[in-house]
Amino acid sequence: MRYATSPKPKIAIVGGGFSGAAVAARLLRSTKYDVEMIESRPRVGPGLAYGDAQPYHILNVPAGRMSFWTERPRHFLEWAKRNGPELGWPEAAMAEAHSYLPRELYGFYVAEQLERTDREVSEYHGRRLLHRRATAMTLDHDRDVFRLALDNGESVRAEAVIIATGHGRPTRSWQVTGRGAAYVEYPWSKEATAHLNSVAPVLIIGTGLTMVDTVLRLKREGHCGHITAISRHGLMPRRRGDSEACVLELGVREASFGVRCLFEAAREAISRNRGDWQAVVDGLRPISEHLWSALSLTEKRRWLRHVQPIWNVHRHRMPEESAETIAALIAEDRLEVSACFVEEIEMSGMEARVRLRPRGTTRSRTHTFGRVINCTPGRSDLASMGSPLLADMEKKGLARANALRCGLDCDESGALLDALGRRLSGAFALGPMRRGLLFEASAVPDICCQADDLAQVVAAFLSSDDRQPKERDVHAIGLAR
């Protein structure tokens, strides 16, 4: 991959994680334009989920459903069988469609797909993928031309821009005061476990799959002190079973269709399936977008507030091996999971004093930990995501939060809506940034479908009659290089 500049880039993608890589590869294959990708990481493709994983972190979707290419569902599986052993995973040679393979291996796969596509199209068609190692800070739009200003002082000019900036920073509703290294905001960083006394008590904020990964990492790295994991509801992911998804025929039958109706229908389906809730949860997946789009805004808010935490622990389940380890740690009283709120964290040298309030009580107590690791999900509210680019776009009216305040507002094709709700011609969003409009916007199979459609939408947009290059206009507003 080159680090050059193109005299006239057409498509700019902000974010080089899985979403950016998926749409870039499709655009390179199906359009005649160069693609410029802005990403501060040295390697594009794996992103947060697959770039920061340890060898023992396992995918939570089976290999048979993790292909980079929608039209070749077994592509990842076949690649892993061929390349896994050479890359240090001999067991991958025996993988089957239902096997759960390492996330790190998947990161190699994604990076290779993008690099290979880039090589092929540049050799045979002269199109290129240009990686700019930088962070996009601001976006301007004038007469069909976008200009992204980067943190290294450069700028990128494009006629279509795709925002694929992924997950926001972890959620934080508490104050952190004092100085020291005992509080870690990013669970995948080296600092999360660096210089940790092996018997020091650890607090993990968040009880989802990131907590599970962090507990496994602490154990692997020799930590044997007590771990407390807390969240609003104190719910942990369920253990993954062998159930096959059942076929559900939940129709949107009534005008009053809502969360309550859904709950009742799901309960009926579980009892029809002799209590097999996993089959029902998985059976909901093919129809979840349809059901989500049928809910009113009020009902969607009810779902997010009251049902989402319960849904998450049933939908995003723990691999068998991880579940065994977690259960053993709980049984040995080395891991405790509870429903608590963090009120304040005060760092002092190698320790952090944390004021915690158990759910359902008004009295808080202060506890001391050797490390506090924030494993809460990424923020989705634009205002608190900590992205200068998104804040700038919102300030200039080029983008707005969606009605649920959990991502960018866009239409069904992924086109961004501006502050007044009008299509911002040529600007699109992809991946977790489409949460809210879509029920499932983050898993690989969902992102691949979004990327397939978006590549076509962008290609059609750039080749449409009213999208001929307007050099005169460009010079007039001083954006041409």
Ligand X SMILES: Cc1cc2nc3c(=O)[nH]c(=O)nc-3n(C[C@H](O)[C@H](O)[C@H](O)COP(=O)(O)OP(=O)(O)OC[C@H]3O[C@@H](n4cnc5c(N)ncnc54)[C@H](O)[C@@H]3O)c2cc1C
**What residues make contact with ligand X under the rule CB under 6 A?**
14-20, 38-41, 47-49, 59-61, 135-136, 164-167, 387, 389, 431-432, 442-444
Are 187 and 297 in contact by the 8 Å Cβ rule? The answer is no
Smallest gap from residue 38 Cβ to ligand X (A): 4
Choice between 47 and 237, CB closer to ligand X: 47
Choice between 145 and 448, CB closer to ligand X: 448
- DSSP-derived letter for residue 220 is H
Choice between 19 and 231, CB closer to ligand X: 19
Smallest gap from residue 356 Cβ to ligand X (A): 25
Smallest gap from residue 334 Cβ to ligand X (A): 23
Choice between 44 and 356, CB closer to ligand X: 44
Cβ neighbourhood burial of 309 (10 Å; 0-12, 13-18, 19+): middle
Smallest gap from residue 414 Cβ to ligand X (A): 13
| Residue 258 three-state SS | coil
Choice between 10 and 317, CB closer to ligand X: 317
Instruction: Give the residue among 87, 19, 88 at the shortest CA–CA distance from 48.
Output: 19
Choice between 178 and 388, CB closer to ligand X: 388
Choice between 46 and 283, CB closer to ligand X: 46
Question: Can you tell me the distance from the alpha carbon of 235 to that of 185, in angstroms, rounded to the nearest whole number?
Answer: 21
3-state secondary structure 431-481: HHHHECCECCCCCHHHHHHHHHHHHHHHHHHHHCHHHCCCHHHHHHCCCCC
Smallest gap from residue 406 Cβ to ligand X (A): 14
Choice between 59 and 218, CB closer to ligand X: 59
Cβ neighbourhood burial of 90 (10 Å; 0-12, 13-18, 19+): exposed
Cα dihedral sign, 328-329-334-338: negative
Smallest gap from residue 74 Cβ to ligand X (A): 16
Token pair 């990131």 is at which residue?
A: 210
Smallest gap from residue 311 Cβ to ligand X (A): 16
Smallest gap from residue 55 Cβ to ligand X (A): 14
Question: Can you tell me the distance from the alpha carbon of 207 to that of 377, in angstroms, rounded to the nearest whole number?
Answer: 10
| Residue 339 three-state SS | strand
Q: Taking the CA of residue 94 as centre, how many other CA atoms within 13 Å lie in the half-sphere pointing to its CB?
A: 2
Choice between 45 and 283, CB closer to ligand X: 45
| Residue 207 three-state SS | coil
Choice between 56 and 341, CB closer to ligand X: 56
Are 462 and 10 in contact by the 8 Å Cβ rule? The answer is yes
What share of residues in the chain are helix, strand, coil (percent, to 5)? 35, 20, 40
Smallest gap from residue 387 Cβ to ligand X (A): 6
Instruction: Give the residue among 318, 355, 325, 317 at the shortest CA–CA distance from 203.
Output: 355
| Residue 189 three-state SS | coil
Smallest gap from residue 464 Cβ to ligand X (A): 27
Smallest gap from residue 213 Cβ to ligand X (A): 7
Choice between 23 and 261, CB closer to ligand X: 23
The token duo for 66 is: 């993790």
Smallest gap from residue 416 Cβ to ligand X (A): 15
Choice between 36 and 299, CB closer to ligand X: 36
Q: In what order do the strands lie in the sheet with 11-14?
A: 129-132, 35-38, 11-14, 160-163, 423-429, 415-417
- DSSP-derived letter for residue 247 is P
> Residue 469: which region, alpha, beta or left (left: phi > 0; alpha: psi -120 to 50)?
beta
Q: Which residues contact 206 (CB under 8 A, 6 or more apart)?
A: 170, 229, 231, 374, 375, 376, 377
